[in-house]
Amino acid sequence: MSHVPFANGAPNLSVDLPCMRELAARENVPIAGKDFKTGQTWLKTLLAPGLKARMLGLRGWYSTNILGNRDGEVLDDPDNFKTKEVSKLGVIDSVLQPEVYPELYGNVDHVVRINYYPPRGDNKEGWDNIDIFGWMGYPMQIKVNFLCRDSILAAPIVLDLALFMDLAARAGQSGVQEWLSFYFKAPQAATPIPAEHDLFIQQTKLKNTLREWMGEQPVTHSEAG
């Protein structure tokens, strides 16, 4: 074993296996994953906490992506898309907690599509139609059209994770680094408690971990922004 920290930016299960998690912990190697959170899912982890904070109900969230690069070509295959679909679909339920707020989020139609369209190249376009409802059940809609570049969004994440994973190793950390969930669509959980998907809570966890290692006080709610 090379003892090099490993961050999984793809939706595969390479270090999700119990044997791999046990090996990483035993060999004192930090691991983190999975699937970099760059485009549409990143926006979902921004918008969903806002809906929940205002107690706005959600009836449906339809998402489609147009990709023209190799990523889009691979994900155009239904079998390859399955793991990506799982990581994308899990975000909404985790943030909105339908088991706690069944009247608001207990019956949400969440659809995710990815379409390969070569003329787009490395440009990525995400369309979202969000059907919400407010006071007295009044229906409303949110439309999002996000035009971006996959590599431009992913590159800073790679750089951050390279630095943070090295820092974790130097700090004597091993196994799943849940504090880095801020960067992943389907973050690994270090305990039986499911991983957090709310981007703002994830950011606070990241800050608190770094502060703890520096011997500083945790971030408070007033400082979390």
Quick: pLDDT tens for 31-67: 999 999 988 899 999 999 999 999 999 999 999 989 8
> Looking at residue 221, what is its pLDDT?
61
Please provide residue 3's backbone torsions phi and psi, each rounded to the nearest 5 degrees: 65, 25
Which of 128, 153, 2, 158 lies closest to 66, judged by CA? 128
C-alpha dihedral (88, 86, 121, 60), degrees to nearest 10: -50
Please provide residue 41's backbone torsions phi and psi, each rounded to the nearest 5 degrees: -70, -35
87 falls in which pLDDT band (50, 70, 90)?
low
| Of 183 and 12, more confident | 183
Residue 222 pLDDT > 60: no
Bridge partners (DSSP) of residue 58 are: 132
Residue 26 pLDDT > 90: yes
Query: What are the structural domains, with CATH classification, of the chain?
Result: 6-36+152-213 (3.40.50.720), 40-149 (3.30.360.10)
Which of 171, 168, 122, 126 lies closest to 144, judged by CA? 126
Report residue 46 as tokens: 């921004």
| In the chain, % of residues over pLDDT 70 | 96
Query: pLDDT by residue (tens digit) across 101-141?
Result: 999 999 999 999 888 989 988 888 999 999 999 999 999 99
Report residue 128 as tokens: 């979202």
Please provide residue 138's backbone torsions phi and psi, each rounded to the nearest 5 degrees: -70, 125
Mean of the pLDDT values across residues 182-209? 93
Residue 225 pLDDT > 50: no
Query: What's the rounded Cα separation, in Å, for the pair 208 and 212?
Result: 6
